[in-house]
Amino acid sequence: MDNARSHAPALLEQPSARTPWIELAVILAIFALASVQGYRMLRASEAPVAYEGGHLIATGDLADALYEPAGTRQMGAFVVADAGDGCRKFTSGNVSGVACNRRGEWRIREMRQELR
């Protein structure tokens, strides 16, 4: 009998019971990352400027870049620099302009497009 056991194929050991919280956390993390990426993809198609109440207002990625702390930096497609008096210069490709923060929103003071 002992000889038969030594030649019999070994049964695979059962994996230890996993905590369902770990699996749930992994699933939620994947869902959260996919949601953030989907949101960013949808925002990227949003126009950087909207016309509201008689003013051009920075929206989407341009608004996000302007709200970042002052100083010259690149945020996504936009290069933003402090212009003083609550205003900031921005450039993206062949478009440049100045936006000023008025009552919590970035109003476009001027915008130019360089013809190439």
Q: Determine contact, residues 50/61, Cβ cutoff 8 Å.
A: no
Judged by DSSP in three states, 26 sits in helix
Average pLDDT value over all residues in the chain: 79
End-to-end CA distance of the chain: 89
pTM above 0.75, yes or no: no
Lowest mean pLDDT of 6-15, 20-29, 81-90, 100-109, name the range: 6-15
**CB–CB of 78/65 below 8 Å?**
yes
pLDDT for the residue numbered 100: 92
Per the CB < 8 A criterion, the answer to whether 80 and 73 are in contact is yes
CA distance 65 to 61: 6
